[in-house]
């Protein structure tokens, strides 16, 4: 089994949050600052930080995405692809989304993408919103995600089915509503 590089589990939550913000701010400045499809008005921000199973889980807002991040506190029993050892990733180009990984969590299964940064170690990223240009403020982006959750819960209730942890809502339903609410720009 390949070895996960992880942050020290004794690192305080505040220190983890500050490191994440610094890392993703640097990634923005080195990889995204000149990109047209990035919302340069949005900051890097962490919200909903919590611990569950062996993970530190939080929402990460960046100018290019809103994502859920899973930072392991202990080495997960999830094998790493051979080319994703810390030594190989150290000098590899930055990837926004690495290979998909099946993540057992809270009795369910999630899909997330493996990633690595020398200051964070290995982590998993689950993109939630990848088109950020319509959001004027961080709160607008988080409100849009809250609307996804509200819609998901309504659909589950209407269909009277059980919701495993973070079961995904029909993206088509959410984005259809979002498209109707975004004003069309005149040329």
CATH number of the domain that residue 84 is part of: 3.30.1460.40
Handedness of CA 56, 59, 63, 65 (dihedral sign): positive
- Does one domain contain both 76 and 125? yes
Q: How much helix, strand and coil, in percent to the nearest 5, is found in the chain?
A: 35, 25, 40
CA–CA distance, 53 with 134 (Å, rounded to integer): 35
Residue 166 in domain: yes
- Does one domain contain both 63 and 110? yes
| Residue percentage of the chain with pLDDT more than 70 | 84
CA–CA distance, 102 with 113 (Å, rounded to integer): 9
- Does one domain contain both 58 and 102? yes
Per the structure, the complete domain to which residue 142 belongs is given by: 138-181
- Does one domain contain both 107 and 17? yes
* Paired strand residues for 110: 103
State the average pLDDT over residues 68-92: 91
pLDDT at 166: 43
- Does one domain contain both 42 and 88? yes
Residue 3 in domain: no
Distances in Å between the Cα of 137 and the Cα atoms of 129, 146, 156 are 14, 14, 29
Summarised one tens digit per residue, pLDDT across range 163-173 is 554 444 455 55
CA–CA distance, 178 with 80 (Å, rounded to integer): 37
Boundary of a domain, candidates 108, 129, 150: 129
Residue 172 in domain: yes
- Does one domain contain both 71 and 115? yes
- Does one domain contain both 96 and 152? no
- Across 77-81, 138-142, 148-152, which has the greatest mean pLDDT? 138-142
pLDDT at 35: 93
Q: How many domains does the chain have?
A: 2
Q: What is the CA radius of gyration of the chain?
A: 17
Residue 5 in domain: no
Side-chain-facing half-sphere of 18: CA atoms under 13 Å = 5
pLDDT at 9: 81
Instruction: Yes or no: say if 101 and 85 are a contact pair by the CB < 8 Å rule.
Output: no
């Amino acid at each position: 089994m390949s070895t996960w590089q992880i942050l020290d589990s004794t690192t305080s939550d505040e220190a983890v949050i500050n490191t994440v913000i610094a890392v993703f701010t640097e990634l923005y400045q080195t990889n995204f600052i000149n990109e047209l499809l990035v919302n340069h008005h949005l900051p890097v921000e962490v919200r909903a930080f919590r611990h569950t199973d062996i993970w530190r889980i939080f929402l990460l807002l960046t100018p290019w995405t809103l994502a859920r991040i899973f930072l392991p506190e202990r080495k997960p029993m999830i094998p790493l692809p051979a080319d994703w050892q810390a030594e190989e990733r150290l000098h590899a180009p930055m990837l926004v989304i690495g290979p998909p990984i099946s993540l057992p969590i809270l009795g369910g299964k999630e899909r997330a993408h493996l990633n690595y940064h020398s200051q964070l170690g290995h982590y998993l990223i689950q993109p939630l919103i990848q088109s950020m240009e319509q959001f004027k403020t961080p709160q607008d982006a988080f409100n849009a995600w809250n609307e996804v959750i509200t819609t998901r819960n309504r659909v589950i209730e209407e269909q009277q089915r059980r919701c495993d942890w973070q079961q995904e809502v029909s993206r088509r339903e959410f984005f259809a509503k979002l498209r109707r609410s975004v004003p069309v720009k005149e040329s």
